[in-house]
């Protein structure tokens, strides 16, 4: 039967009159290239901003094998029985590879002329996905300030003068659509950072923020955070073009990346927390209502003792803690503890004891942990309801 795809609006309503698609690219930049789930298998350009759909000519559609998106938002067209590759724009116009090559050459020449002006001004812009400068075009840059070293030879865009950056400021663009763009501003003298967002059409700064915007959809700006499962993200905030908060996910449903990320929230409302790189955990005792806690790349020998006072703890995840030798015994006694995940903790030895003694454990996931021989079969008999996910991955 195959996969059926649909597009949903921000309010989770079906778009394009409920049309189903056999395959589709992402909706980044406000549009996507999609193959309709119909008899002809027609290809179309669908706009998330207008809700309109441009269906390609049927004679063209039947020749197309697939369409993917390049970093600039153009569709890369591959044909079924031909070795050539074309491009397609958001209006459904087919552009030959030769045209693209000529356009790129002109863009690169323009950057060559502009880049020295940018360097002389000491303002830099590194863009992801929308940069056009190749590595071999970038000058051999050296700086006494290490913060200016990384990334300068990757994608470099000339900064428009209307952005009014200071000579000491460094701009990293991480998000953009047809009208708005923004990213991180680093002042290389004060070493302070903030996030600024601009209107590209009206050529003006629209707001600054302490939060990094992950997506721009229409005139709404979205902030996300990792989910507690480690897979995907959660929508946490939505802002308008003035930086006014339109929506905020309740803290009990957030996964906080570090104790500092909980600033401004009631500690009793923090249910999920990630601690990494030996972060200061002096105030960890404030979060007595934690349900999920995760540790990554920490050098401790044992997990913090105060975890035993967290009466509602349901799940624990530990990743890449090379010195950890044992898990706390209280985990094997807790009646609320349901899930344990361990990855790359080579000195850890007592997982078996925790699993055997736990009255409530429902799921165990490990990577690169050697269980005692026969332990898996033993648990199948003693705890048939317990789900095991055991894997090994070679390190390089």
What span, in angstroms and rounded, lies between the C-alpha atoms of 15 and 51?
7
Cα–Cα distances (Å) from 161 to 124, 166, 204, 337, in that order, read: 12, 10, 11, 57
| b/e code 114-152 from CB counts within 10 Å (16+ = b) | ebeebeeeebbbbbebebbbeeeeeeeeeeeeeebeeeb
What span, in angstroms and rounded, lies between the C-alpha atoms of 186 and 181?
16
What span, in angstroms and rounded, lies between the C-alpha atoms of 297 and 66?
41
Cα–Cα distances (Å) from 2 to 5, 21, 25, 342, in that order, read: 10, 11, 16, 35
Q: What is the pLDDT of residue 117?
A: 46
Q: What is the pLDDT of residues 123-165, one digit of tens each?
A: 444 443 333 333 333 333 333 333 333 333 334 444 666 788 7
What span, in angstroms and rounded, lies between the C-alpha atoms of 357 and 304?
20
**Which residues, 6 or more positions from 105, have their beta carbon under 8 angstroms from its beta carbon?**
none
Q: In which band, very low, low, confident or very high, does the pLDDT at 113 lie, cut at 50, 70 and 90?
A: low
Q: What is the pLDDT of residues 342-392, one digit of tens each?
A: 999 999 988 999 999 999 999 999 998 889 888 888 888 898 899 988 887
Q: In which band, very low, low, confident or very high, does the pLDDT at 271 lie, cut at 50, 70 and 90?
A: very high
Which helix (DSSP H) or strand (DSSP E) does residue 379 occupy?
helix 375-382
Domain edges within the chain: 16-92, 100-247, 250-391
Which stretch of 50-59, 178-187, 212-221 has the lowest confidence by average pLDDT? 178-187
- Dihedral angle sign, alpha carbons of residues 264, 268, 274, 277: positive
Q: What is the pLDDT of residues 191-225, one digit of tens each?
A: 788 999 999 888 899 999 888 898 898 899 998 87
Q: What is the pLDDT of residue 8?
A: 73
- Dihedral angle sign, alpha carbons of residues 241, 245, 246, 247: positive
Of 45, 26, 27, whose CA–CA distance to 35 is shortest?
45
CATH fold of 250-391 reads 3.80.10
How remote is the C-alpha of 96 from its chain's centroid? 32
What span, in angstroms and rounded, lies between the C-alpha atoms of 367 and 345?
9
């Amino acid at each position: 039967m195959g996969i059926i795809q649909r597009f949903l609006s921000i309010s989770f309503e079906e778009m394009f009159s409920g049309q189903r698609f056999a395959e589709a690219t992402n909706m980044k930049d406000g549009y996507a290239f999609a193959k309709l789930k119909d008899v002809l298998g027609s290809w179309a350009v669908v706009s998330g901003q207008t809700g309109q759909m441009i269906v390609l000519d049927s004679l063209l559609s039947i020749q197309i094998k697939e369409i993917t998106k390049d970093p600039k938002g153009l569709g890369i067209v591959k044909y079924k029985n031909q070795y050539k590759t074309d491009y397609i724009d958001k209006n459904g116009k087919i552009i030959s590879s030769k045209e693209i090559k000529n356009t790129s050459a002109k863009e690169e020449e323009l950057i060559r002329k502009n880049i020295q002006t940018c360097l002389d001004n000491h303002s830099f812009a590194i863009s992801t996905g929308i940069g056009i400068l190749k590595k071999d075009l970038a000058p051999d840059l050296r700086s006494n300030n290490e913060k200016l070293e990384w990334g300068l030879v990757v994608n470099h865009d000339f900064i428009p003068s209307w952005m009014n950056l200071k000579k000491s400021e460094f701009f990293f663009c991480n998000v953009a659509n047809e009208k708005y763009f923004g990213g991180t501003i680093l002042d290389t003298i004060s070493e302070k950072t903030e996030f600024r967002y601009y209107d590209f059409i009206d050529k003006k700064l629209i707001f600054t923020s302490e939060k990094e915007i992950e997506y721009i959809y229409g005139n709404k700006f979205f902030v996300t955070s990792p989910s507690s499962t480690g897979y995907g993200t959660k929508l946490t905030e939505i802002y308008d073009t003035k930086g006014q908060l339109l929506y905020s996910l309740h803290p009990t449903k957030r996964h906080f990346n570090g104790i500092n990320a909980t600033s401004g929230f009631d500690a009793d409302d923090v249910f999920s927390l990630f601690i990494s790189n030996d972060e200061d955990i002096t105030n960890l005792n404030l979060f007595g209502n934690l349900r999920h806690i995760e540790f990554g790349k920490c050098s401790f020998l044992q997990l913090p003792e105060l975890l035993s006072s967290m009466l509602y703890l349901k799940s624990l995840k530990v990743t890449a803690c090379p010195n950890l030798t044992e898990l706390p015994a209280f985990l094997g006694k807790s009646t609320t503890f349901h899930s344990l995940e361990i990855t790359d903790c080579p000195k850890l030895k007592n997982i078996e004891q925790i699993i055997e003694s736990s009255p409530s454990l429902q799921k165990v996931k490990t990577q690169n942990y050697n269980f005692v021989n026969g332990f898996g079969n033993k648990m199948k008999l003693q705890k048939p309801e317990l789900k095991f996910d055991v894997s090994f991955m070679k390190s390089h």
